[in-house]
Chains A and B, each alone.
Chain A
Amino acid sequence: MPPASILVAEDQTDIRELLVMNLRSAGYDVSAVGDGPSALASQAEHASDLLVLDLMMPGLDGLEVTKALRARGRSTPILMLTAKSTELDRVLGLELGADDYLTKPFSLAELLARVKALLRRADLLRAAQAANAGEPRMLRNGELEILPAKRQVRYRGQPIDFTALEFDLLLHFASHPGHVFSRGQLLNAVWGYTHDGYEHTVTTHINRLRAKLESDPVRPELILTVRGAGYKMRDSPS
């Protein structure tokens, strides 16, 4: 199997050079460009397995490149680099289709770990899609029904809408009933993040799942807290 191909789009030469150097020594097939339009042109020519995009670039910025690629139907995983640390930026990037975010200054180890996680996740997704190509499997836990292929959820017979991440989180819980996950593990498994500092997102999403599913979110019956350890979905009653 050939090494995964990565395109680095970063306008700052020093950082670009360092990224290329380190990704190459990690064994990836790396190419690099200095602005947004070149990144798009390069992708039109040859689709990479993963993109590392700087948010602030001349021509087209990282968000615009992401948007253009997604508009072309490309689901290539994208790791966005940014010097802006506001949460708004983070959310914007994720909603517009970037898969992960790194705030400058970051450590190379962190970057390499994220790249690895994103590539592995893309592989898993492809494998899952291939496996699900046949009949749609249904996950059931009491009155909770999940159709992973259609991304549909019914609870007590009522269809309930979830955002993509909420659905992924619920699916993860439902696939492992009774299994306790720490927030860090959930962050890694569902979001693909491997580092500290985003756990609050898990809290917020569990909060939302409970608000949508539990009749009394203060005393949840479906997504349970295990003090000092994490969260789990109750064992399937069957």
Chain B
Amino acid sequence: MSVRLKLALTIFATGLLTALLVVATVVYAFQRFENETAYRRGMGFLSRVVSMYDNIFDMHEKDAAAFQAWLRALVLFEPDTELYLLDGSGTVLAKTGPTPLKPGTRVALAPVRESIEQKDASYVMGDDPERMDAGAVIVAKPVRRALAQGGSREAGYLYLVLHTQQLPADRWDVLRSSFARPALGAVLAVVALTTLLAALIIATVTEPLRRLTRAVATLSQRGLAEGLAVAPGSALPAPTKDEFGQLTSAFEMLLDICRRQWNALRRTDHFRREGVSNLSHDLRSPLTATVACLETLDGRWAESAERAEDRRLVEIALRNTRNAARMVQSLGDLAKLDEPEFSLRSEAVDAGELLDDIAVRFAERAARQGVALRTLPAGGGANEGEAGPRALLDVELFERAIANLIDNALKFCPRGSTVTLAAARRGNRVAVSVADDGPGIPSADLPLLFDRFYQSRPTVAPATADGGRGLGLAIVKRIAELHGGDVAVESTVGRGTRVVLTLPAAIGTSSPQDRARG
């Protein structure tokens, strides 16, 4: 739930609660007013009664029935009022109400005392003998009885019950229609208006926050490279002079730090690539001279038998220098492929046909090593059976990648193995695989296989140890990435290895034409 909605809901709920409280207060106050009015009326009435008759108790004792009639006569003009005579313990002795009471019905004395003693009480709630479960406003006055020896003593109470609770229905209607409804309407209108206003204010206040959120979201979508390239200050909304402005500034600072670190990182990466590239370049001339020297010596001593041992030394030196040269070359190539400016020269080609052609290059070496190198018929050729899948690729780099994979397979596979090349269309991709039934790669090594400088398997022939140790597969991976594809390897120890390059297929029939003319 958005902060906006939360705030709006909170304000709405508060308004509604206020409205309910107001109504409740009104009802309560009305009730209280009724009670007070009744109490005051009852108090006046009862005071008049006790001040006019000081022999009430005697009257009761003389003739209970006559007394009861007299009591009734007293409240004849007092609506909703019942009068009782209680003895000192609160037991009802006489009553005016029509409902027959159980003999010995008693009311609580505490309200009685309160009504007598607390002259300033607004009203007192006590028992209603007719409905002992519900309370009622009561007024009580002590009734004295003359003593034989003169004077008098408190002998009981006159107990007045005022039925304010049972307001007549029409009074409630009056209350509802003339007070509660207009009040409620007004309150609801105020609540609605307040909520609307609050929503407006919240929207206005949180707008910068939304703008900031949008800007930051856009930045993260476009990614560091592009987003951070935006000139400082222009990516985010202009900071205002409030808390949101501070937040914007804070973000701007954060962005600036990111930007600087990103640039530093890019610079470092650039220097690293440059360094590797320069190193590779600078090493070429001395290596060329060394190789040329060794080759010259080798050629000179080729004929002489007594130089056989020297030639052996030269051969070792030559082989190692050439390995070093290949490594230097691979390093330089990888640095080249890593450059952000490096771009492919892609064309639509028959991947199956190309695999055939690449296989031809390795045919002699495979035959020498006793390894069968074959291209699956599914690979196809342009003129025999089905055409192979057409892929959009940089022929040089693709050939380089496949050559590296074949080279690797030949390096690790013993005599009698088979290396199989295949290309197949898979949706809008072309999967090119180089599979062998050689020794396989332990599964623990698989994830690291395409890392630079990683080599798990001991080569079959250590004497022909490769240059570019571990770089071959890194180059394959980089080439796949440059094509917007990927490379995957599956291998079982003892069963063989299968490397699959996934590359974009050439969609449409006329693509080679467009590209070649361009």
A163 CB to closest chain B CB (Å) equals 10
A-B contact count (CB 8 A): 134
Q: In the bound complex, do residue B292 and residue A199 qualify as a contact, i.e. CB atoms below 8 Å apart?
A: no
Chain B: interface residue total (CB-CB under 8 A): 50
Expressed in whole angstroms, the Cα–Cα distance for A225 and B388 within the complex equals 12
Is B509's CB under 8 angstroms from A218's CB?
A: yes
Given contacts A207-B512, A220-B383, contact A15 B291 (CB under 8 A): no
Q: Tell me, in angstroms, the Cα distance from A78 to B333 when the chains sit together.
A: 25
Q: Once the chains bind, are B325 and A108 in contact (CB under 8 Å)?
A: no
A183 touches B360 (CB 8 A): yes
- Given A85-B329, A107-B291, A184-B360, the answer on whether A220 and B517 have CB atoms closer than 8 Å is no
Kindly list chain A residues whose C-beta atoms are within 8 Å of the C-beta of B295: 22, 107-109
Q: A183-B360, A228-B360 are in contact. Are A86 and B382 (CB under 8 A)?
A: no
Q: A12-B289, A207-B512, A210-B512 are in contact. Are A225 and B360 (CB under 8 A)?
A: no
Q: A86–B515 Cα gap in the complex (Å)?
A: 21
* B345, B382, B512 — most chain A CB neighbours (10 Å): B382
CB <8 Å contact, B332 and A85: yes
Return chain B residues, CB-CB under 8 Å to A103. Answer: 329
Q: Please, how many angstroms separate the alpha-carbon atoms of A19 and B348 in the complex?
A: 41
Cβ–Cβ contact B375 & A85, under 8 A: no
Which one of A105, A199, A217 has the greatest number of beta carbons of chain B within 10 Å?
A: A105
By the criterion CB–CB under 8 Å, are B361 and A220 in contact? no
Task: Say whether A228 contacts B356, CB under 8 Å.
Answer: yes
Show the binding face of A for B, using Cβ within 8 Å. 12, 14-15, 18-19, 21-22, 25, 83-87, 103-109, 182-184, 196, 199-201, 203-204, 207-208, 210-212, 216-220, 224-230
25 A-B interface contacts by CB (under 8 A): A19-B292, A22-B292, A25-B299, A85-B329, A85-B336, A105-B284, A105-B288, A105-B328, A106-B288, A108-B291, A108-B292, A108-B295, A208-B516, A211-B516, A212-B516, A217-B512, A217-B513, A218-B350, A225-B350, A225-B382, A226-B383, A227-B353, A227-B356, A227-B383, A228-B356
**A-B pairs with lowest CB-CB distance, top 4:** A211-B516, A227-B381, A225-B382, A18-B292
Chain B residues with CB under 8 Å of chain A are 281, 284-285, 287-289, 291-293, 295-296, 299, 322, 325, 328-329, 332-333, 336, 345, 347-350, 353-354, 356-361, 375, 381-384, 387, 390, 395-396, 398-399, 509-510, 512-513, 515-517
